[in-house]
Structure 1
Amino acid sequence: MLWVQADEQGCGLMAWSRSSGTTRLTPPEVEVGNIVHAYGGGAFAAGPGRIWYVDATDGQLQTLAVQEPNAEPTPLTGGQQAGSGDLIYYDGELLGVQEGEHGDTVTAWDTSNGLARTLLTSSGFLAAPRLAPGRLAWLTWGQDAMPWDSAELWCADYHPGGVPIGAVLVAGGPDEAVAEPRWGPDGSLYFMSDRSGWMNLHRWDGTSVRSVASMDAECAAAPWELGYASYTFLPDHRIAMIARRGTLDQLVLVEQEGVRELELPFTSIKPYMATVGDHVAMIAATPITAPAVVVVDPDGSFVIIAGQSPVPSAPRPTTGHTAGGVTYLLHRPSTSLAGPLPLIVRAHPGPTDGITYRRDAFIDFFTHNGFAIVDVAYRGSTGFGRAFRRSLYGRWGLDDVADCAEVAEHLLATGTTTPGSVFIAGASAGGYTALHAVCAAGPFAAAIARSPIIDPKSWAATVPRFQRAHAVALDGGGGRVRSEAIRKPVLLVHGANDPITSAADTLALAHDLQDRRSSVELLLLDTESHTLSAPHLAEAVLDAELRFLRAMMRSER
C-alpha cells in the first residue's frame, strides 16, 4: 500500500505492509506531487519491484527500485517531461495524462528504456487511462465543461506498444457526468455516473450498462484532482465503496445480498481507496480525529497505520437544519462556556466542495480560543445530488450568501450567539461568498477572506485552463466584489504568487477600501500557495485572524 504524506521531511512517498510496517520510499529531500489540471493527482504508480513518481520541483518522472536498500531515484527519461498525472502501470508500460497550453495527451512510456509515445490527444481534457488485457478506457470532456457536469467514457482495443483502435462511447454526454473508470476482476468496466441524479456505481460488460448499486447517495466526489478512487474491488466479488449522504461519509460493501453499511467511527473518507489482501485501505477521519491511513476488515474492525491518535476531549459537532432546509455542522468549544458564544460562519471553498464531518486545524484553533464554528452546506455543495450541485450556477454570490445568512440568523434565534458576535470566513470561492455577505445588511459583523475570488470575470480570464468553464458557469449572480458596497470590516489574506486566484485583485480591493477609509486589514504572504495550509503559513494566518476577530469584538462593546 502506497500513499503520499507531508511531514517535517517534505512530501514523500510512504509504503506499508503487514510484514515490514511503514517505511518511507523516497529520499527526505524529495517532494512528490504535480499540478496537472491545476490541482494535480495521481503522482505515482507502482509496478513489480519499482515505483514511478513525479518530482514536484521540476515535473520530472523518476523511478526507484523499492527492493534495493538506499536506492537513489533516476529519471525515467533523459529529458525534461511535461507535468504528468493520473499515472498507472500495466504490463511494462507507464501511462499518464500530460497537460499542455492547448490541450491534453495520454502518454505511454516503455519502462525498460523510457521511450514515450502519444496515445490520445484532445483540445479539451483527458483523464483516467485504465488498461486491461487488450483494452484501454479513458475519460474526456470539453473545454466548456467541468468533469462533474459533463464527461464521456470511451473504450478501445489496445496492446502495449500499439495504438488504440476502434474507440466506442461507453457512457456520458452533455447531461451526464462519468468518473473513476476501473476494470473489474470479472473483465467488466466499472465507473461512476450521475445519470440517476446521484453519482452511483455502474458496470459495462462490453454490450450494455447496468447499475451496480443504486442509492440516494454521492458515491464519488467532484473530481477536482486526478486519480480519485472512491471504490475498490475485494475478494469474493465484493466492492468497497464510499457513500456520502449530506455531510456524512460511510464505507459500504456491495455484496451479492445487497449493500451493507459497515459500523465504523469514521465520518469523512477521502477518495483514495485501495485493496490490501482482503482488507480496505483508506484515508479517513472522525469528528475528533484528523485524517489517518486506516486498514479496515470487512467485519468492521480496523487498524490505524499512520495519523494522529484520537483526542477524546474534542467535542463532536452537531448537525442541524434551518427552517428553510439549509444543512449545517456546529462545532462548539470543548470547555463549557456560559452564555452565547462568538460565532464564525464558515463558507467552504467549493462551490462543489462540501462540509466534512471531521476535525481540522481551523476548528481546533478557534474552538480552543472560545469561538463556535458553523460549516454551511450552501447551494452547490456536494452530497445532495446532481441538481443541488448545479443549483448555484448563475446565482453565485447570491444564494450561497443567503444560505450562510439563514444559518447565522437561525443560531441567533436559538441563543447560540448574539448580535455583533457573528462573523463569516471563507477561502477561495468561500472568500468570495464571505465578502459578498458583508455587502448587504445582515447578521455579520465582519468578514475574513483567504485567497478570495474578487471578480468572477477577471478570474475566468486568469484561472488555470481546467477551471475556466466553472468560472463562466458560476458567474451571473453577485458579480464583482465592489469596495463601495462593503459595509463591515474585512481581513484579506493572500499568497503573493497564488496561481489559482490572483493576489492583484485582492490588493486592488484593499487599496480601494483604504482610500475610502473603510476598515480593512491585509496580510500578504510571500508564497505560491493557494490553500495556505503549510504549517508555517497556517500559523501566521490563524494568529492574524484571531487578532482581527478579537479586535472586532472589542469594538462592539
Structure 2
Amino acid sequence: NFDDQRLYRQRSGEDPEPITPAPDVERGDRYADLAITPDGERLYCVRERHTADGDDDEPTNTLVTLPADGSDEPSVVAEGHDFYSFPRVSPDGSRLAWTTWDHPAMPWDETTLHVATVADDGRLDDEREVLGGSGESVFQPAWSPAGGLHAVSDRSGWWNPYRIDDGEPVALHPAEAEFGVPQWVFGLSTYAVLDDGRIAVRFGSGGDYDLGLLDTEGALETIDLPDAYFPGSHIGTDGEAVVFVAASPTQPTSIVRWRPGEEPSILERSSELDVDPAYLAEPEQVTFPTGDDEEAHALFYPPRNPDVDEPHDERPPLVTLSHGGPTSETLPALSLGGLPSIQYLTTRGIAVVDVNYRGSTGYGRAYRDRLDGEWGVVDTADCVNAAEYLADRGRVDGDRLAIEGGSAGGYATLCGLTFHDTFDAGVSHFGVADVEALARDTHKFESRYFDGLIGPLPEARETYRERSPVHHAERIDCPALLLQGSEDAVVPASQAKGMIAALADIGVPHAYLEFESEQHGFRQADSIRRAAAAELSFYGQVFGFTPADDLEPVTLTPEE
C-alpha cells in the first residue's frame, strides 16, 4: 500500500488487512518482489528499511519471510548485500533462489544467484552461490515444475538462458541475442517455464524481438504474432498458456494470450482509440557510422499525414530522441501518448530519429558497456551523428535539427546543445544539468551508478564538472525548452532551475514549464497535453512554421 508501505492481504468479499507491522519510522519499511510458498502459508520478499528523515545512512535491504496471515513479524533470512531481488520458491517449497549485488555495480553489471534450502520455520540453510559474480549479470531465476532452476546470464556476452545443475551452468540456446533486460524495477520476466518443460521466451536484438518456444533439447521456434506484435518484459504462464504484454509499431500495447498449437489472442488493449494506419509513421531500422570508427543504431520515423501533400522542394525538420536510463533501449512500439509522442510529431510534418546510442541494451554486453566512463560523450556523439547522417542523405533538413529526451536523455539533450553545434534547438524533460550534484543527491539504487558512467567521487570531480552543461552554458547559442515535475525525487527541479538561470544569464532564448504534483515522468493527462503542446509551439517558433493545432503558445525569454 503506497500510503503506509505496509503489506496487505484481502480475502474475497472482505476489506484489506495489514500483514506487516507499522514501522517505527513512518513509511520506513518498504516491501517488494513477493513470492508465496506452494502451500500459501508463507511469503518471501525484499524489504528496504529507512531510518529517520535527515539521517545520512542508506536504507538497508534484506530478504525477509513472514506468515501469509501476518500472525508473526517479518524475519530476516538473508542480509549483508546492498541489494536483493527475485526471491523464488521451488515448486515443492524446499528451496529458495534469489539474486544480490553490491555497490558500485548495477544489476546489469554484475549479480550473483544464490540458492538455499528452506527450513520448517521458513529460515534458510546451506546457502550457496551457483551463478554470476564479477563481471556477470544474472537475471530472473525461475524454477521448472520438475524442480529445475533456470536463469538468464550474460557470461557469453549476451543475456542467454541457462539451466543450473549440480555442476556448471548449461547454456540452453547459445545465441547472439538478448533473452533478458536491464533490471530497473522488480517483477520483470522475459520467459516462463511451461508444465512440459518447454520455455516461452522473449528474444532478439537491435529492436527486433519475437516470442519463442524453447524445447528441452535447446531448439527455438519463433511464434508468429499478429500486427507485428512483440513481447515486452512481462511474461507469465499457468503452465499451459502464456500471457504477456506486447507492443507493436501500429497497435496499442496489449495483453496477449498464446497456447502452443493455437493462434494468439488479444485479451485487452491499452487503448481503444481507432487510428487510421494511414496516419502512422512506421520505423525504419538505421545503422550509421559514429565516433571511434564504430557504428550505432536508431529507428527513423519519416513524417506521415495523408491530409497534407508532402512538399517537393523542402525536407522535414528532425527531432533526435535520446532515451532515458541511460542503460535502456528504444523499441519500435506505437507512441501515441506520453512524452515524447512520436506520432504526434510525425503527423505534424516533423521527422523523428530515436537513437539506441552506444551504451543501450539490446545489442550485447560489449555495446552496453561502451558507455562506461563515457556518459555524456559517447551517447551525445551518437545523437549528433544520427542527425547528421540523415541530413547528409537528404532525408531531413540539415538546417532544422533538434534534440530531445527525458532524464538521461535530457542530459544528452543538454550536452548536445552545450558541447556540439549540430542542433538548432533542444527540449529537455527533467534532464540532468549538473551530474555531480545529482550523484550526491539521489536514491540508493542509482547512488553509485555514476561511478561506472563517469568515475568515482571525489577522484573524478573534475570530469563531473567538465560534463555538466550547467557549468558551460555559455557555449549554448540556440533556444531550449525545459519541462520539469515539481515533485521529481530522481532528478530534482533544482537541476532544471539551475540550467534556466544559466541560460538567462547569457541571454539564450528559453522557456521553463514546471508541472505541479508531477514526478519523474509525467502521468497526468493534462500535464502531458500541455507539455506536448508546448513542444509543438516551441518547434514551430524555432523551425519557422505555424502549427495547425489550436495551441497555447510557449513564450521564449528573451524573445528571438
Give yes or no for the alignment of 1:105 onto 2:62: yes
Report the TM-score, using the length of structure 2 for normalisation.
0.85
Question: 2:394 & 2:120 partners in 1: Cα distance?
Answer: 65
Give yes or no for the alignment of 1:469 onto 2:448: yes
Counterpart in the other structure of 1:9: none
Question: 2:247 & 2:524 partners in 1: Cα distance?
Answer: 19
- Letter matched to residue 3 of structure 2: T
Question: 1:138 & 1:374 partners in 2: Cα distance?
Answer: 39
- Letter matched to residue 328 of structure 1: A
* CA displacement, residues 193-224 of structure 1 (integer Å, 9 cap, x when unaligned): 10000011111123331111211111111000
Question: 2:175 & 2:381 partners in 1: Cα distance?
Answer: 30
Give yes or no for the alignment of 1:72 onto 2:15: yes
Counterpart in the other structure of 1:218: 178
Give yes or no for the alignment of 1:193 onto 2:153: yes
1:441 positional shift: 4.0
| SS of residue paired to 2:370 | coil
- Letter matched to residue 500 of structure 1: V
Counterpart in the other structure of 1:6: none
Match of 2:327 among 341, 346, 352: 352
Counterpart in the other structure of 1:301: 263
Match of 1:532 among 513, 517, 522: 522
Counterpart in the other structure of 1:136: 96
| SS of residue paired to 1:316 | coil
Asked if 2 retains the 8 angstrom alpha-carbon contact of 1:262 and 1:300, the reply is no
1:555 positional shift: 8.9
Instruction: Please list, as runs of the form range in 1=range in 2, the aligned pairs for 1:50-449 lying within 5 A after superposition.
Output: 55-66=1-12, 68=13, 71-80=14-23, 82-90=29-37, 91=39, 92-100=41-49, 101-115=58-72, 116-132=74-90, 133-256=93-216, 258-264=219-225, 265-299=227-261, 301-307=263-269, 308=271, 311=275, 312-313=277-278, 314-324=280-290, 325-336=295-306, 337-338=310-311, 339-360=314-335, 361=337, 362-449=341-428
CA distance 1:344–1:276, shift in 2 (3 Å): same
1:270 positional shift: 2.0
1:429 positional shift: 0.4
Match of 2:496 among 506, 519, 522: 506
| SS of residue paired to 1:391 | helix
Question: 2:229 & 2:287 partners in 1: Cα distance?
Answer: 18
| SS of residue paired to 2:305 | coil
Asked if 2 retains the 8 angstrom alpha-carbon contact of 1:351 and 1:381, the reply is yes
1:375 positional shift: 0.4
Question: 1:172 & 1:74 partners in 2: Cα distance?
Answer: 39
Counterpart in the other structure of 1:48: none
Question: 2:262 & 2:303 partners in 1: Cα distance?
Answer: 31
* CA displacement, residues 521-551 of structure 1 (integer Å, 9 cap, x when unaligned): 1111112410113322211211111111111
Question: 2:409 & 2:120 partners in 1: Cα distance?
Answer: 45
CA distance 1:446–1:157, shift in 2 (3 Å): same
- Letter matched to residue 327 of structure 1: H
| SS of residue paired to 1:353 | coil
Instruction: Please list, as runs of the form range in 1=range in 2, the aligned pairs for 1:477-496 lying within 5 A after superposition.
Output: 479-481=467-469, 482-496=472-486
Question: 2:348 & 2:213 partners in 1: Cα distance?
Answer: 41
- Letter matched to residue 19 of structure 2: L
Question: 2:364 & 2:482 partners in 1: Cα distance?
Answer: 33
Question: 2:187 & 2:110 partners in 1: Cα distance?
Answer: 18
1:417 positional shift: 1.4
| SS of residue paired to 1:289 | coil
Question: 1:414 & 1:250 partners in 2: Cα distance?
Answer: 31
| SS of residue paired to 1:439 | helix
Q: Percent identity?
A: 29
Question: 2:71 & 2:317 partners in 1: Cα distance?
Answer: 58
Stretch of structure 1 that moved more, 523-532 or 175-184: 523-532
- Letter matched to residue 220 of structure 1: G
Asked if 2 retains the 8 angstrom alpha-carbon contact of 1:263 and 1:300, the reply is no
Question: 1:513 & 1:555 partners in 2: Cα distance?
Answer: 24
* CA displacement, residues 238-272 of structure 1 (integer Å, 9 cap, x when unaligned): 10011131112211110145011112244542211
1:105 positional shift: 1.2
- Letter matched to residue 300 of structure 2: L
CA distance 1:408–1:238, shift in 2 (3 Å): same
Question: 1:256 & 1:113 partners in 2: Cα distance?
Answer: 40
Question: 2:69 & 2:409 partners in 1: Cα distance?
Answer: 47
| SS of residue paired to 1:401 | helix
Question: 1:78 & 1:176 partners in 2: Cα distance?
Answer: 37
Question: 1:486 & 1:459 partners in 2: Cα distance?
Answer: 21
1:78 positional shift: 4.8
| SS of residue paired to 1:382 | coil
CA distance 1:95–1:528, shift in 2 (3 Å): farther
Question: 1:393 & 1:414 partners in 2: Cα distance?
Answer: 31
Question: 1:274 & 1:160 partners in 2: Cα distance?
Answer: 29
CA distance 1:235–1:155, shift in 2 (3 Å): closer
Asked if 1 retains the 8 angstrom alpha-carbon contact of 2:107 and 2:183, the reply is yes
CA distance 1:141–1:77, shift in 2 (3 Å): closer
Question: 2:479 & 2:444 partners in 1: Cα distance?
Answer: 33
* CA displacement, residues 21-63 of structure 1 (integer Å, 9 cap, x when unaligned): xxxxxxxxxxxxxxxxxxxxxxxxxxxxxxxxxx223312121
1:123 positional shift: 4.5
| SS of residue paired to 1:350 | coil
Contiguous gaps of at least 5 residues in structure 1: 1-54
- Letter matched to residue 130 of structure 1: R
Counterpart in the other structure of 2:505: 515
CA distance 1:286–1:555, shift in 2 (3 Å): closer
CA distance 1:527–1:471, shift in 2 (3 Å): farther
CA distance 1:486–1:197, shift in 2 (3 Å): same
Give yes or no for the alignment of 1:452 onto 2:431: yes
Asked if 2 retains the 8 angstrom alpha-carbon contact of 1:268 and 1:357, the reply is no
| SS of residue paired to 1:157 | strand
Question: 2:523 & 2:128 partners in 1: Cα distance?
Answer: 42
1:343 positional shift: 1.1
Report the TM-score, using the length of structure 1 for normalisation.
0.86
